[in-house]
Structure 1
């Protein structure tokens, strides 16, 4: 967390605000919900450092046995230090942070002792704002050579785009040049100096999450956005990128819609890395080292958000996700869904009061609701598990699933309805759960612990209002199943994709599945090691898996997922170029240039569809612009000669990752997009 007003060092007089529960059908009757789970549709595997949290040097409880024990019990596998924006004023050698508060017993060795007691790997932030590459290299030497801590992950700075270059200024930065170009140059220098000490470390650079400020903004004197500049100039020197995500939301209901943006946001970030980071960009991982909500931080909205966001990000291949923060202190007090919310970004109570002692938190280290959600995630997504596709037909119920290393399937169900229970029908694809009553762990609104019982069945569960439910399903083990096929690849056109993969063994049949919510669609099967899928939609993103089946019908685990986007037709009678010419973080000026490659037309209509539901049209010019739901039509009575080009512009808005439209039709014909 970056802004000074978000730290525990500043405590303000609080006014209690009562907020009514929002977002669901008040008094709604139970509504049956269908959840599909398909183990043939594999997503990302869970790594050794997936479940993370932030520690801060102004937290007097950093590294204490009580806190380390609570984090260990929750399944935390990575802890970040020395704490958000403090990282850019912190000097590790003398344990000082000029301009900030440093609590006693929070030095690096104390942090490492706590990390080891937790059983977690460290994520260390090297000081970019007021530090040097040499200081960072000396820290690596002390950590890994002198002390033998084997600290692998090191990030260069924290939210350094907040240094004033784009206007907002909360991050310390003593460099005269505050551009992404300058930051990238120092990232290279830091990486070289640090890896000269210990070549085994991994170095990360700070980027911004697509859809969050200042994504897509081009600063004065820059050649591209922050992400483009940093990746283009420092991509060869880094091993991962580090992003934060505070998607906001004025109400609990709005905040709980934000996890739906994860798939598109991670896709856009991955595409930026692949496009700008140079050769071998696929090696660069993604870490999410800060996230939280603006409403209901300590109560059930924060818990529901945490469960949804950790699961969604890990499923999309983010290798570690961190909550901000372990402790943070009292904020603005409100009432959310009948529970007192202290506006505290922490997982655990700081035990403090406001200035006149009229409002006090629970005793020190009392777990808040998000802590219990984190403990469920720690049980749900363990190293060696693989996320598999899960989908639901109710926007107030989220579903995630993993296949355990032993073949069992765990399903995480999140009921975001504060008023109504939901009866969920579980539909299983590619496996059959064992008969009997499954083990179910549940965290409900206002509870002070997770409860575990055997209840419901493998095909039906009832979800309490505002609850998180973890269902663990025993499955019949398949002896000697074929191994999972290795990573597939694809060659695509506008309508086809030829998918290839290495052989997984002799006498096998392969099945290729397209992910489609929680029920995968069979694209085809073959005894060879390639398959051409036909009749695909132009400009559409597809994610597929390959599974192998032997002669006895035993099915392998799925291959790693492959995501590709089909092209638009070459040689079409029209060509469209779409450009974002000026972006300000939640809106932009778009330019569309249309070339008629066919016979002259006396008038024309261009149509396209917004890729997401959080994009919209504000205004347009040089034609008549209309919008219906997500479809935009641009109409002109002006003739367009053969070979002629015309243009039209618009102002668009977005409140999430701004996925550009890529498929345009002119008078009903799909155009070539360039």
Structure 2
């Protein structure tokens, strides 16, 4: 997070320090009930929402680090059996330490954080004992702000040589772009030079010192999430953004990048639209990275209602969406955080507490108190659903909804079962969902439905509805688990992840590692393009490469490859390949779009248009489309600018001379990842994009 993060943590420490331990009996993870079953049984209700699930459109495979949370040294409950068991029951596989901005003031050897509060019994060994009880791997933040490479290397030695903990993941610092270099300072940084160049140089030094102790560890560097401050901003004295500078200098020394995402929102309804930005944010981030570098998202939380149903709905969508895109861990801020601004959200008291579990404390005037210590808040129950939905080894597959208030995700289990996660973001109305499946058929059995509804004390498990029709409670999350119509035995294994050999504006040459046959020989491979919830087959071949034709210029494609055997059996989908076609290599026009000055939610754009022909163009219209609905042109000059929907038209009655160029400018605005247009047309002709 930006500025509020450290202040939030510091404020919470005071409250946590005064917590009186209360023996709590948190609600069970799966309570029996009949409400959801009764609603799901309304089979005669006409569907108002259609959801398509396509197992041929494979997304990422869930790693054992996927479900994560943050611990903090100012939390006196860190590492306790009660908390560790709650996290274990939720399926948590990774825990982060020592806690956000505290990492840049924390010294592990003497367990101190000058300027901050350190609770008793929160030292590293206590944390590791709790992590082991949970069954989770640690994500450790080395102190960049007030520490040294030697201090970090000594920590690695203690953890992995002296104690044998096998701690694999180590990040260098936390939110270090928040050190004042861009005008706002909340992160401790004792370095005289606050630039990304200096951070990168130190990342290299830290990585060398730490890997000299244990070369098997993975080192992460702090980046900013596309579309979030200070993304796009070039600081004084820099030649590029924070991400560009860090990666240019330290990219070869790291194994993963560490980003945070607090998308905010002025209302619960707005906050719940933010997960639609995930695919573009991860896409832009991957464009900056070497393919070997992984992505961790180690802090996120909702903008409105962190203890109530908006927080739960947001968590379910965000964890699912990020894991679908191959992020190897998603971590909620925080396990405990402390009471904040109290309000009523969706009919229930929200304590403004960014924790998953109650801290059991009260407002300063004592008028409002949280539930007993460690009582789960609504997001904890959503996390438990995600822990069941996305277990290590599950393959996430594409699901699409035609209702903006109902989001859908799906995972294919090792035993062939399919879990469909449905999130109803409508606070006032239930929705009846028609479920359609592609590349997979369910049995006629009544499915199992695990649901968490607004204000509930826990998850309800029932059987109800059908594989084709489910009723979603208002502001509810439902996981529908279905069995396959036929046993999935003897099938080929999935082919390896495809790669691009060459790509042009209209074609792409794709190859992949061969699949391992099942009980029958492999007859052919089928190539599918992901398209909503129902894939489009692009071709098939008996070999392990194909040229896909008739593509559109400047368009992003995600494809999967599946193997079919001689008996007609179909493998699971390969991991996905995403690529963007180019513009034409030779065209009657060329266009160069430059972002000349960016301030984080807007920029000055310059468009240079060149006439590549020997004939003047008298009057011209340039057309392009923004890739997302959160991008727009605010104003423009040197031509007439207008936007309808996402389509922008730039017109001029001037003349473009033969082989001549002209330039027009505009002010653009964005409230999410700023994916720039990849294709432009001039007077109806597709141009070469430079």
Task: Name the residue aligned to 1:469.
Answer: 478
Q: What SS does the aligned partner of 1:471 have?
A: strand
Q: Distance in 1 between matches of 2:540 and 2:14?
A: 61
Q: What SS does the aligned partner of 1:602 have?
A: strand
Of the three residues 539, 542, 549, the one matched with 1:524 is 539
Task: Name the residue aligned to 1:485.
Answer: 495
Q: What SS does the aligned partner of 1:282 have?
A: coil
2:349 is aligned with 1:340: yes
Cα deviation for residue 11 of structure 1 reads: 5.3
Q: Distance in 2 between matches of 1:394 and 1:210?
A: 26
Which segments of 5 or more consecutive residues in structure 1 lack a partner in the other structure? Answer: 13-28, 274-280
Of the three residues 487, 501, 508, the one matched with 2:512 is 501
1:613/1:30 Cα in 2 relative to 1: closer, same or farther (>3 Å)?
farther
Structure 1 window deviating more from structure 2 (317-326 vs 433-442): it is 433-442
Task: Name the residue aligned to 1:513.
Answer: 528
Q: Distance in 1 between matches of 2:689 and 2:236?
A: 29
Size of the alignment, in residue pairs?
A: 651
Which digits, 9 at most, give the CA deviation of each residue in 1:179-199, with x for residues without a partner?
Answer: 000000000000000000000
Answer yes or no: is the 8 Å Cα contact 2:451–2:460 preserved in 1. Answer: yes
State the TM-score, normalizing by the size of structure 1: 0.95
Q: What SS does the aligned partner of 1:638 have?
A: strand
Q: Distance in 1 between matches of 2:191 and 2:120?
A: 30
Write out aligned runs for 1:316-335 (5 A).
Answer: 316-335=325-344
Cα deviation for residue 326 of structure 1 reads: 0.2
Write out aligned runs for 1:74-153 (5 A).
Answer: 74-153=90-169
Q: What SS does the aligned partner of 2:165 have?
A: coil
Cα deviation for residue 508 of structure 1 reads: 1.6
Cα deviation for residue 500 of structure 1 reads: 2.0
Q: Distance in 2 between matches of 1:72 and 1:11?
A: 26
RMSD: 1.2
Answer yes or no: is the 8 Å Cα contact 2:81–2:130 preserved in 1. Answer: yes
2:312 is aligned with 1:292: no
Of the three residues 3, 6, 22, the one matched with 1:4 is 6
Answer yes or no: is the 8 Å Cα contact 1:30–1:421 preserved in 2. Answer: no
Cα deviation for residue 59 of structure 1 reads: 0.3
Answer yes or no: is the 8 Å Cα contact 2:431–2:473 preserved in 1. Answer: yes
Q: Distance in 2 between matches of 1:399 and 1:339?
A: 25
Q: What SS does the aligned partner of 1:72 have?
A: helix
Q: Distance in 1 between matches of 2:47 and 2:7?
A: 42
Write out aligned runs for 1:266-415 (5 A).
Answer: 266-273=282-289, 281-415=290-424
Q: Distance in 1 between matches of 2:161 and 2:7?
A: 37
Cα deviation for residue 526 of structure 1 reads: 2.1
Task: Name the residue aligned to 1:179.
Answer: 195
Task: Name the residue aligned to 1:616.
Answer: 632
Q: What SS does the aligned partner of 1:3 have?
A: helix
Which digits, 9 at most, give the CA deviation of each residue in 1:7-34, with x for residues without a partner?
Answer: 112559xxxxxxxxxxxxxxxx986111
Write out aligned runs for 1:436-447 (5 A).
Answer: 436-447=445-456
Answer yes or no: is the 8 Å Cα contact 1:30–1:420 preserved in 2. Answer: no
Q: Distance in 1 between matches of 2:46 and 2:218?
A: 49
2:256 is aligned with 1:246: no
Cα deviation for residue 455 of structure 1 reads: 1.0
Q: What SS does the aligned partner of 2:181 have?
A: coil
Q: Distance in 2 between matches of 1:149 and 1:529?
A: 42
Cα deviation for residue 478 of structure 1 reads: 2.4
Q: Distance in 2 between matches of 1:501 and 1:434?
A: 33
Task: Name the residue aligned to 2:469.
Answer: 460
Q: Distance in 2 between matches of 1:554 and 1:110?
A: 51
Q: What SS does the aligned partner of 1:283 have?
A: coil
Cα deviation for residue 507 of structure 1 reads: 4.2
Q: Distance in 1 between matches of 2:13 and 2:126?
A: 20
Cα deviation for residue 510 of structure 1 reads: 1.2
Q: Distance in 2 between matches of 1:440 and 1:184?
A: 48
Which digits, 9 at most, give the CA deviation of each residue in 1:432-488, with x for residues without a partner?
Answer: 111111111000000010000111111111100000001111112222111211121
Task: Name the residue aligned to 1:23.
Answer: none
Q: What SS does the aligned partner of 1:253 have?
A: helix
Cα deviation for residue 602 of structure 1 reads: 1.0
Q: Distance in 1 between matches of 2:59 and 2:180?
A: 38
Q: What SS does the aligned partner of 2:156 have?
A: helix
Q: What SS does the aligned partner of 1:542 have?
A: strand
Cα deviation for residue 499 of structure 1 reads: 2.0
Q: Distance in 1 between matches of 2:629 and 2:281?
A: 13
1:10/1:660 Cα in 2 relative to 1: closer, same or farther (>3 Å)?
farther
Q: Distance in 1 between matches of 2:522 and 2:643?
A: 54
Task: Name the residue aligned to 2:26.
Answer: none
Which digits, 9 at most, give the CA deviation of each residue in 1:64-97, with x for residues without a partner?
Answer: 1110010000000000000000000000000000
Q: What SS does the aligned partner of 2:152 have?
A: helix
Answer yes or no: is the 8 Å Cα contact 2:492–2:522 preserved in 1. Answer: no
Of the three residues 622, 635, 651, the one matched with 1:606 is 622
Answer yes or no: is the 8 Å Cα contact 2:131–2:138 preserved in 1. Answer: yes
Structure 1 segments of 4+ aligned residues over 4 angstroms from their partners: none
Task: Name the residue aligned to 1:18.
Answer: none
Of the three residues 646, 666, 674, the one matched with 1:658 is 674
Q: What SS does the aligned partner of 2:120 have?
A: coil
Task: Name the residue aligned to 1:278.
Answer: none
Which segments of 5 or more consecutive residues in structure 2 lack a partner in the other structure? Answer: 17-44
Which digits, 9 at most, give the CA deviation of each residue in 1:366-392, with x for residues without a partner?
Answer: 000000000000001011101101001
Q: Distance in 2 between matches of 1:507 and 1:52?
A: 39
Of the three residues 221, 231, 234, the one matched with 1:218 is 234
Q: What SS does the aligned partner of 2:664 have?
A: strand
Task: Name the residue aligned to 2:601.
Answer: 586
Task: Name the residue aligned to 2:555.
Answer: 540
Answer yes or no: is the 8 Å Cα contact 2:421–2:477 preserved in 1. Answer: yes
